[in-house]
Structure 1
């Protein structure tokens, strides 16, 4: 359902700039036709790559335009703000009604006069499956008195789970969203806690995998090339002092970004150090490997008299 909400945002929203990014970030977390989703200020800052001030201004502008509504009587996980996209909900209801009998029926573009479906008690009860519950003690909760939240909002990143992007209630910050998914970097939190770990204990987490895919390094290096680059990085960092998880992640990303794309049919000139100066696939020294690679590129015969391929 987040696909339909995003489509409305792309096709029919009048928002611009940071406000458009904020709207689409919230629409990406919409789980059903009610178009209700939660999002913390910190997560919106991270996802839009904008400043907190810019995000707050964007939220206020979206509220003024009527494209975003703060449901201040509801709480998301970790007391995150809960929002609704009323125009998107009206549009989805209009489409559902028009195509109920004829899936190919023409649906007129949305207008401001399209009625917004009400959130009844049953609908609010269904939201609990996404971790959205009625707020307790709302009069004593200053962080929900305005659309943009309080300055004390937690800086913790709140990444969306699969599909709707809303975590169920009762989960802790350190628990994996998928029960079959193993925890990584156990000695420190995902945000780089106080504990330092050696490089062999650091593992590529979900955020790092997403970074490699988003920036095209996975497509550029290929899965095998990425694994080889990771192995080479670990060898080069084997004698380094333990560091925090965030520091290892930043160093790993910097290393991968500098890795060159492998040329088709060309030997690897960058052998992993160690094992007495030999490569991972033979017993040649690094100098011999470089010479063999050069001869292979030139098509010259090697020491055994055969032409290098």
Structure 2
């Protein structure tokens, strides 16, 4: 589930700088579609390589922008802070609702009218997130000392069979589907997945491009160029289903700009040289570029 949360941050978040790094760090810890995760300030400082004040300022900025929410009524292991990505949760809920009957259905971008689902406290407990002491829903429990890298509360085993990570290691992911290293829970081993390079544009996506006016706006050559650019940028992505690639491809095409007219090569030198000559100083190269621009035909000769 953290894959979908990270993808929403990459593609839709307006955050920048440290705020974007903090949001990505929290999205990487999201275990389910509620988009709730716990993290200590120290771990966020280590992951973002930012100072304590910078991380605090980033959290404040994200909260003011509505992309991050601090759940004051809950706490994680060692009384760590619990956060929620509300807009990400709203997007995942909208995708699930639209594609309930049709997995290939196109999902419109998130709007202010899309509601954020309520937090289900019972579901958070299996991810070591509990109501704070004193809350009405807080059950009596023994708060044993633990490090941030300790296993989740519900997975405690007898001392002779316990396996703990070495001191100073990164904590395990909060969701089993997003391991730090490929293992049996990895979703990439599922059947029916393909890479962006091997995925073929289906008739439904082509019909969508024509109905939405993108084929007219970009033209066939522009659409092919946009498709090639999309495949280049997605070539390093992990395999996923054809429906997921189709939705991502449509989102890319919808954001693609009209092809810009061909610009003259300002570095072309008089006489047909395609680039600045070797040994030219920067001033000489700039002068050659200006001369090339002056020599460009204007069509009024």
TM-score, structure 1 length as denominator?
A: 0.47
